[in-house]
Amino acid sequence: MVDLFKKENLFKWSLVLSIYCQIYSPAYALPSNRLISATHHISNNIETIQIKTFGNPNLHIFQLSSPQRIVCTLSNTFFSKVHQNQTVDGRNILKVRISQNTKNSTRLVLDVLKDKSYLTHKTKLSKNIYLTTISFPNAKKTAAIKKNALLQPVLLAQIGSNIPHEPASSILKAKTQVLNTSPSNKIAPPAKQEPSLQIVSSENQTLTAFNQSSFDEAIFDQTDLSYSQKNTPKDMRVSASIQTRISIDTDHDNTNENKFSFKNRSILKIKYKNDLVLSVLSDYLYFGSKNETDSYDIDLFETYLRHSRGYFTVTLGKQIKRWGKTDQISLIDTLNPVNNTEFIIPSYEEKKIPVWMADFIYRRNSFFIEGVFIPFFESDKFDYFGTDWATFTHLKDDIEDSPLSPTQKAYFASIGVQEIKPKDEDSFEYALRIGGSIEQFDFGFTYHYATEDQPTFESFPVKNLSLRNSGSIQDILSNLGSLTLTNESIRAKYLRTHIFGLEFETILSSMGIRGEAAFKENVSLLTSSLTSVRKPTLSWIVGIDYTSENNWYFNLQFAHQYIKNFESDILFYDQDNYSLIGEINKNLIADWLNVSIQGTTMINDGSYYLSPRLLYTYIKNFEAIFGVHLFEGSDDSIFGQYTRNDQIFIDLKYYF
């Protein structure tokens, strides 16, 4: 670490700042109530926001204009996520924001289309869990309950995160109770006197709704955090995040391996009136031990301008656009490249790389059509050599430590890569998505004319190779006499493909069901000669999720991939490939300590990835994950090639 700081003094101060913020964030005695989650749903023409609390909520509701908002304040309530902001696919509601606006109260703001009538209702789900429902009748849309409507943290939102689904059974129960409440209560325009209106639930407990014409929304934005926004314009919001991850190899069982890694990822985001977003990413990654490497990138992150009028929304700029319904892995989510420098270690959302695009959406009632144009190509981010997760791992270093002659070692050390990316006039991509809802069923169809984000290896300088995996030094040494060494470079080319997809989502009894399928005209697959072949593939995935009455969350997905015209020398895959992806999690202490197990197993070869972890969110603005990454399988399997890369890790995130 001393050498690291000598080399990069800039990052010394970044590390000191992030650790200071994460360790010395002020802790305090928490209020008696906790906000667990807030979810958005549309079902049977009723649009609802469902607020789940650990404790009986003391809720105050009022409306504001210019723009139209409904503000909900929960007194004596603590929200461990501190600040969340989510655009929703609603008919009355455009956006939901949650903030721990003081140490003793939480504020939820609904941005609505216009002055709206609504109902409120409170239900006791269990001994300590309460569900408060704000409903808007006549939503004119029927949709399946969506996991991505569950509000996620700003800037560090994770697909398949540790925030559990709402149980479908409790949602349906609450829906029935809302339909049986009293007629809609229309809130009168602001007046000199602030009239109050009482709405009595079936449990004879009272929620109070009132108008407050003098309310200043800065109370929502200025959340009593470490960062003050007193001097920022009223319509401007500034937020940021710092993430630090430290990973340590559990067993030093390779001559060349990264025994330690350090990542610091910081994002600063400025948002103006929900129409303009500007954010900057600072990303530093260090791999330590015998083969030290580091990289640093500072760049514009999501930066775009959005305009909505009538049924149309246009968004221009650098964006991350999420398509698909399934968790942890998506077959049709192909618009953005990903950062694979750490393989499967980062979360799905953390890996996403924003690209310049124009996004056009027409949405009316239960139908939508979306078009995307991407003018410039950007590939996945990865390493060819020198790290545990590189395409050819530590192959050059292993050869340097082998008994080969100095001439042979020098040859392998000099191997370079010639990347051939599309020319400017051929680098564009476009995509189309059409979908809607019928009763309890959401669906969509997609098409993407794309350039593959992973390269096709057209040639490799060492001929007559037959390897079990891309970094097998043993195979090279045992067959050295039959190899032909040429003066070529590795030739990596990015080629075009067509991707057709579909997605769906619905509910069945108390379970959520979602799935995707994709046909890709050509996919590049690595072979034992370290060159690629391109094959058509058909893949599908279907998953179910369920939350029990005592808040155990279960998610299980089954996937199948079929490779047409399969060749036996393709590495890691069979013609038919079957896998299971799953997650189990449970809150141990209210909502601030969560235990989970995430994993994937390849049924064909028995290899698997498993990650048990603890999530801690007790301290304000702060999130800590402690866990283990475990890989197991044979050397020629997808996960087995990393069996010596087991890690323990701690991931710290601070929001302000």
- Is 71 within 8 Å of 195 (Cβ atoms)? no
Buried b (16+ CB within 10 A) or exposed e, 48-78: bbbbbbbbbbbbbbbbbeeebbbbbbbeebb
Do 214 and 244 lie in one domain? The reply is no
Please enumerate in sequence order all residues whose Cβ is within 8 A of that of 27, keeping only pairs 6 or more positions apart, or say none: 618, 619, 620
151: pLDDT strictly greater than 70: no
Interval 3-48: pLDDT, tens: 443 444 444 444 544 554 444 444 445 677 888 888 888 776 678 8
In 3D space, the residue among 127, 112, 134, 248 whose CA is nearest the CA of residue 185 turns out to be 134
- Is 53 within 8 Å of 74 (Cβ atoms)? yes
323: pLDDT strictly greater than 60: yes
Which pair of structure tokens corresponds to residue 543? Answer: 């998953």
Do 49 and 179 lie in one domain? The reply is yes
In 3D space, the residue among 573, 555, 572, 556 whose CA is nearest the CA of residue 564 turns out to be 573
Do 372 and 341 lie in one domain? The reply is yes
Interval 183-228: pLDDT, tens: 333 323 333 333 333 333 333 333 333 333 333 344 344 333 333 3
Residue 524 corresponds to which amino acid?
Answer: S
Q: Which residue's entry shows tokens 């204009």?
A: 65
235: pLDDT strictly greater than 60: yes
* C-alpha distance from residue 510 to each of 164, 381, 545 (Å): 14, 40, 9
Give the angle subtended at the CA of 76 by the CAs of 74 and 77, to the nearest 5°.
Answer: 60
Q: Which residue's entry shows tokens 């545990």?
A: 388
Average pLDDT, stretch 55-67?
81
The lowest-confidence range among 6-10, 395-399, 530-534 is: 6-10
Number of domains in the chain: 2
Do 260 and 174 lie in one domain? The reply is no
Do 351 and 217 lie in one domain? The reply is no
Do 392 and 444 lie in one domain? The reply is yes
pLDDT at 546: 87
CATH number at residue 502: 2.40.160
Interval 402-437: pLDDT, tens: 999 999 999 999 999 999 999 888 899 999 999 998
pLDDT at 589: 75
Average pLDDT, the chain: 80
Band (590; pLDDT cuts 50, 70, 90): low
Do 566 and 622 lie in one domain? The reply is yes
Is 9 inside any structural domain?
Answer: no
pLDDT at 234: 60
527: pLDDT strictly greater than 90: yes
More confident residue, 333 or 546: 333
What domain range is 353 assigned to?
A: 236-655
pLDDT at 28: 44
pLDDT at 558: 97
pLDDT at 455: 97
Q: Given phi > 0 = left and psi -120 to 50 = alpha, else beta, which region is 255?
A: alpha
The H or E element spanning position 15 is: helix 9-23
pLDDT at 85: 67
Do 498 and 617 lie in one domain? The reply is yes
pLDDT at 66: 67
Is 14 inside any structural domain?
Answer: no
* Dihedral sign, Cα of residue 349, residue 350, residue 353, residue 358: positive
Average pLDDT, stretch 545-558?
87
Is 597 inside any structural domain?
Answer: yes
Which pair of structure tokens corresponds to residue 390? Answer: 């590189």
DSSP state of 479: T
pLDDT at 203: 34
Buried b (16+ CB within 10 A) or exposed e, 381-410: bbbbbbbbbbbbbbbbbbbeebebeeeebe
Interval 99-131: pLDDT, tens: 876 767 888 888 887 766 788 888 887 767 888
Is 117 inside any structural domain?
Answer: yes
Is 26 inside any structural domain?
Answer: no
CATH number at residue 51: 2.60.40.3500
pLDDT at 264: 97
Interval 340-395: pLDDT, tens: 999 999 998 899 999 999 999 999 888 999 999 999 999 999 999 999 999 999 99
Do 158 and 287 lie in one domain? The reply is no
Is 129 inside any structural domain?
Answer: yes
Is 491 inside any structural domain?
Answer: yes
Q: How many residues does the chain have?
A: 656
Do 251 and 177 lie in one domain? The reply is no
In 3D space, the residue among 327, 331, 450, 439 whose CA is nearest the CA of residue 379 turns out to be 450
606: pLDDT strictly greater than 90: yes
Is 204 inside any structural domain?
Answer: yes
Do 139 and 262 lie in one domain? The reply is no
The lowest-confidence range among 40-49, 242-251, 465-474 is: 40-49
Please enumerate in sequence order all residues whose Cβ is within 8 A of that of 231, keeping only pairs 6 or more positions apart, or say none: none
Do 215 and 270 lie in one domain? The reply is no
Average pLDDT, stretch 492-515?
92
Spell out the SS3 assignment of 491-554.
EEECCEEEEEEEEEEEEECCEEEEEEEEEEEEEEEEECCCCEEEEEEEEEEEEEEEECCCCEEE
